[in-house]
Structure formats: C-alpha cells, structure tokens
A = this chain, B = another copy of it.
Amino acid sequence: MALVVQKYGGTSVGSIEKIKLVAERVIECYKEGNQMVVVLSAMAGQTDRLIQLAGEMTVDPDPRELDVLMSTGEQVSVALLAMAIRSMGYEACSLLGFQVAVHTNHLYGRARIFDIETDRILQELKQNKIVTVAGFQGLDDRGNITTLGRGGSDTTAVAIAAALEADVCEVFTDVDGIYTTDPAICPKAKKLEIISYDEMLEMASLGAKVLQIRSVEFAKKYDVPIHLRSTFTKERGTMVIAETKDMEKVLVSGVAYSKNEARVTIRKVPDQPGIASRIFGPVFESGIVVDMIVQNTSEDGLTDMTFTVPKSDFYKTLKQVSDVAQEIGAEKVIGDEDIAKVSVIGVGMRSHAGVARKMFEVLARENINILMISTSEIKISCIIEEKYTELAVRVLHNAFGLDDEQKGDQ
C-alpha cells in the first residue's frame, strides 16, 4: 500500500463533468490499494471571476480580504470532488487550509508555507477516506486566511506530500510530461522519463512553465518524487526526482527558450565602486525582475553594462535607467526588444567540458549572432535575435542528440 498525493489543476476540474472524471481516476488509484490525498485548484475561470468581482469593488483591493475572497475558489472544488466521490460509493472528506492546517507566514497573496500539520489528514486516511485538500490556501499565526499566489496548488501538493512522507506526488496537467524542448517548434522533441529537480528548475524558469518553480524547490528540499502526467491519458509522464549517477551520462537534457526578454545597455559607465547598485537599485525597488546581467572589462575607466528584463517592463526600465545614467555621467542608454534567450540544460555539464563550445559552434554554423552569454553550473544561455529562436532551438536539439529519430521532419 502506498500513500499517493495527487494534484489536479483548474482545467482538470473546470466543470461538473470533469470533476466526475477526476473522481473516477482517484477512485481507480484508491482501488489499487493506495491511500489518497487529492489537492485541487479552483475550477478554471473561477479565480478570474473572483478577481473581477474585487476589481469591480475597488481598484486596489485589500490584500487580506482578497485572500479571503480568492480562497473560496478551491473550497468549491474540494467540496464538489468529495461529493462526487461519495456519490460513487466511496468515503471522502474535504479539508481546507485551516482544517489541515497549512501554516504560512502572513504575506497575503504570496504566502510561504512553513509547516503542515498531518494529524487531521492521517485521521481521515485511517478511516479509509479519500481526502480532498484545497490547494493554494493557508493560515497565518493569527488565524487569517492566506494564499500562496498563482500556481500555489502545486506547492501545496508537494508540501503535503513532504509532510506525509508520501510515496509520490502526482501532478496532473494538460501536458503529458516534460519534453526535451517545446514540441510546437521542434517536432522531434522527446518526452523525458526522468529529470532532476535542478534541471526542472532551469527548464521552468526558462519558459517551460509546467510546474510552479517553488513547488520544485520544495520537492528538492524534502526529496519528494513528482510524477508529472496528463489528466487525459493513462500513460506515464515524467518523473522529477533527485539527481542520479545515470543522469550525469547525459550531457544535455533539454533546450529551453524564452521570447519574453528585452535588453538594456548603458554605454560608457564610469567604472567605480557602487555604480551597479546605483543603476539597479531603482529597478529592483520597483519589483522588476532582472535576469541576466553582463558587465565587460572596463577601458579607460569606462564600461558597458547590459542586462535583460521581461518585455512588459522594458519601457519602464528604460526610463528609470536613463535617469540614473544621466546622474552618473554615462554616455547613453540603448535597448532592444527583439531578442530571445536560448538555453541548453543538463546536470551532465558539471562533469563534462565542451558543452559551451559546441553550443557556440552550432549557432555560428547557422550564422546566428550571440548577443549575450550567461552560464550556470547546469545551464548555458545565449541571447540572440528573436527571429532566429526556432532555428536555434532545432539545431541545438539535434546537435546535442535529443532528436526523437522515430519522428519525421515536419
């Protein structure tokens, strides 16, 4: 007998009919002899409906009250799933964040879980009940309702699996696993059977948004195996697990890309201590997420500073940085929205040299100019002109031996 935590997203519980299908799937796993805890998101569309209600009330809804409002979404879906399971003849019981209890800090709208009690869930499991748990919500130390932010149900599921020491956390979604790259632009993309937490983190943050990043961090910390699979098929998906020796044999596990990047360069910045913080201070303060930062060696005491931000923050950033540039006497600020980031990821890089060189060669062979380079232990990212994105992904995918040879060219 295993203890299985399953998580279904908003699309999987988007209607009464879909919730019934989830109930059948849960019961099937229960009948195989497993103890079942099922974490749910709000029914698709509900979260937006609630945000709209709040927006109609005021342009700036109080964060505490917004969480009280938002948490009703998951409350509805867990009650309905428990009803569905019971109507099919099996025992079930829903639990909300406060009933579990899921303890968080008090940052409304983006709370962090610090502890999950297991008593109540275990009591219900002992009575052979299938337990449905509201994702996304918790409770601070004063008993206020908090929410974890979008995608928070993934984190709830992994955190509950960790607390219960579950055998696996199955995350159901509308894709059937993690691919070596985006099949939409590279038809030869292969589904990965396994991927390490670290690779998954790089893949996720680089645009393959299937699992919420925080949930992967949580899974890594507590070593919870995640089985990422499709709601619509019975096929196995991708296991996200701790790194194994075997994984290192593979040089590159995947190729990721992001078109949501813009580049800002400040030319001829006086190269003095404290300059970086003067430039980035205002940017960070306004909540803009800076991704890559590159500073070249200076020449005549002047240096160029280049960094990337999300496209949506491009103009705001340009304005802020232009103000600072004038103050510090830099020559000028230039920017470029028509760029993309292409990355190769793999834990194998740690023990093998030559990945970077191969990446540069492959791109050069196609006459794709590299505008910026950034590396981490298990990833190499290049900023290129946006129009070359698809080409770059396909040639890298092929060059690193990731192509599924059973699939033809498109």
Contact = CB atoms under 8 A, between A and B. Distances in A.
Contacts of A66: 79, 83
A64 to B, nearest CB: 7
A146 to B, nearest CB: 13
Copies in the complex: 2
A53 B80 contact: yes
Interface string A135-153: 0000000011100000000
Among A16, A65, A75, which residue has the most Cβ atoms of chain B within 10 A?
A65
Interface in A53-72: 53-54, 56-58, 60-62, 64-66, 68-69, 71-72
A375 interface: no
Interface of A is mostly: helix
Interface string A93-122: 110101100000000000000000000100
A76 interface: yes
A79 B68 contact: yes
Contacts of A99: 143-144
B79 A16 contact: no
B84 A58 contact: yes
B72 A75 contact: yes
Contacts of A333: none
Given A65-B79, A68-B82, 12 more contacts: A16-B56, A16-B57, A57-B83, A57-B87, A58-B83, A58-B86, A62-B87, A65-B94, A68-B75, A68-B94, A71-B75, A99-B144
26 contacts: A16-B53, A16-B56, A16-B57, A20-B57, A57-B83, A58-B84, A58-B86, A60-B87, A62-B82, A62-B92, A64-B93, A65-B80, A65-B82, A65-B86, A65-B92, A68-B75, A68-B82, A68-B96, A69-B75, A69-B76, A69-B83, A72-B72, A72-B75, A72-B76, A96-B145, A99-B143
State the 6 A-B residue pairs at the shortest beta-carbon distance, nearest first: A58-B87, A69-B79, A68-B79, A72-B72, A65-B79, A65-B82
